[in-house]
Structure 1
Amino acid sequence: MTSEAQLREEICVVGKSLYERGYTVGSAGNISARLEDGWLITPTDACLGRLMPQDIAKVSTDGTWVSGAKPSKTLELHRQVYDRNPEVNGVVHTHSTSLVALTLAGVWRQDDILPPLTPYQVMKVGHIPLIAYQRPGSPDVAARVALLANSVRGVMLERLGPVVWETSVSKASFALEELEETARLWMMTNPKPEPLTEAAIEELRQVFAVKW
């Protein structure tokens, strides 16, 4: 089991990496990690590029703020994922440019914001549904995410950005980065490329045990 100190450090490393490469700007975005007795989550209005391990908020399993700076306003959304999917140990939310632009221009489908374009999108990300715009921290969004926590690896919040969950903070970040790069490819190509064929996706299922 990864120690709390190690998780605090991992959150800071991932946040700094995402910020420095432009996946999030200013004080946008948040990251959380599961503990045996609750969660760690980045503070509200914190810059992911300037996180300090001791400032990261600790929250008990019932949602009570235990220590650190005030937790992110999206705490309830993160909590719904952890409560419903025991395999999730990390959640990452950013305001990534290409993905937000995709929601402004129009997603591929409401239940899948992008067609299957690349093998690693299929393998590492999977289907990502769109959740219609509501204000940051809306309890209605958290309730919607709760219904999806076990069926997908993430969601796209319209006009806000992706929320991705995985077995660790780092893996959630990797999946989010793959999703953002796929959106960038989709937005920059004209005419739009054809999706991978069903035969190509079936081969990924057979060779890599992909769920799609």
Structure 2
Amino acid sequence: MIDALVAAGRRLADAGISPGTSGNLSVRDGARILITGTGADLGRLSSESIAVLDSTGTHLSGPRPSKEVAVHLAMYARNPGHTATVHVHSPHAVAVACLPPWSFASAVAPLTPYFVMRVGQAPLIPYRAPGDAELGALLTAHPHPFRAALLANHGQVTSGPDLDDALVAAVELEQACRISLLTDGRRPRLLDDDAIEELTNRSGTTWDSPVGDTSGTMFTR
């Protein structure tokens, strides 16, 4: 598990979506959670960079864990079948997280089939300071199902059945945010509801927000 986290951190750094010492990774291994330590450089992880927690987030061993433990616990609570969570401050995702969301259910519109298949809807979660435990509570309380979210003015978080799946979702969400910014203000053509239904049925992702319905665009703090 530790070797997988080290390799995953290198992949994120190589993809350019984990700048500096920002971001954190975790995997759930039975009753334990392995998470990167606070201030860890994801591109230079080692066994000494990984903290071990119990299922409630209590620190068992290793370095001081990332301050975003509450975010990771919330994603596992939302998606009990998932065993990995990725949180990064990728630049395009952060940029979109500073803008009004496309809808309440998804901050990013259904612009590409790959976003719908690999990520699904990704809501914008109201701002709380990094490390604030309330951020986990807000993730847990959101009424729509999701396996990825944008954290307002902060970054993105994804989870998956395994670490590779969570990584793929993080990279795809960054790409979807980049495309969203490139098409902003140009009346882009979105996938229609029939196309979205076919894609989500095929991939097992979720999309609750009808393309023609933008009534949920108001962002309430």
* TM-score, shorter chain, exceeding 0.5: yes
Residues 80 and 211 (structure 1), Cα distance of their counterparts in 2 relative to 1, 3 Å cut = closer
Aligned to 1:168: 162
CA–CA separation in structure 2 for the residues paired with 1:61 and 1:146? 16
Match of 1:81 in 2: 75
1:51-200 alignment to 2 at 5 Å?
Answer: 51-148=45-142, 151-189=145-183, 191-200=186-195
- The one-letter code matched in structure 2 to 1:42 is T
Q: In the aligned structure 2, how far is the partner of 1:198 from the partner of 1:20?
A: 35
- TM-superposed deviation, 1:62: 3.1
Structure 2: tracts of 5 or more residues without a match: 208-221
Contact 1:15-1:51 at 8 Å conserved across structures:
yes
- The equivalent residue for 1:27 is 21
Aligned to 2:37: 43
In the aligned structure 1, how far is the partner of 2:38 from the partner of 2:204? 38
Q: CA–CA distance in 2 between the matches of 1:209 and 1:55?
A: 33
Aligned residues: 206
CA distance in 1, matches of 2:170, 2:22: 15
Measure how far apart 1:81 and its partner are. Answer: 2.6
Q: Is the 8 A contact 2:24 2:42 kept in 1?
A: yes
State the match for 2:196 in structure 1.
201
Q: Retained in 1: the 8 A contact 2:50–2:62?
A: yes
- The whole-number CA distance in structure 1 between the counterparts of 2:84 and 2:143 is 12
What per-residue deviation string (whole Å, max 9, x for no partner) do you get for residues 92-128 of structure 1? 0000101111122433223311111111111111111
Q: Are 2:121 and 2:206, in contact at CA under 8 Å, matched by a contact in 1?
A: no
TM-score by length of 2: 0.86
Residues 105 and 144, structure 2, Cα contact 8 Å, conserved in 1: no
Structure 1 range deviating more: 103-112 or 161-170: 103-112
**% same residue:** 35
How far residue 209 of structure 1 moved from its aligned partner, in angstroms, is 5.5
| SS across alignment from 2:197 | helix
User: Does the 8 A contact of 1:31 with 1:41 survive in 2?
Assistant: yes
User: One-letter code of the match for 1:87?
Assistant: G
Aligned CA RMSD, in angstroms, stands at 1.9
Q: Deviations over 1:38-97 (max 9, x none)?
A: 100000011111110233000112322111111000112212332453201000000010
How far off is 1:130 after superposition?
0.5
* Cα drift, residue 154 of structure 1: 1.6
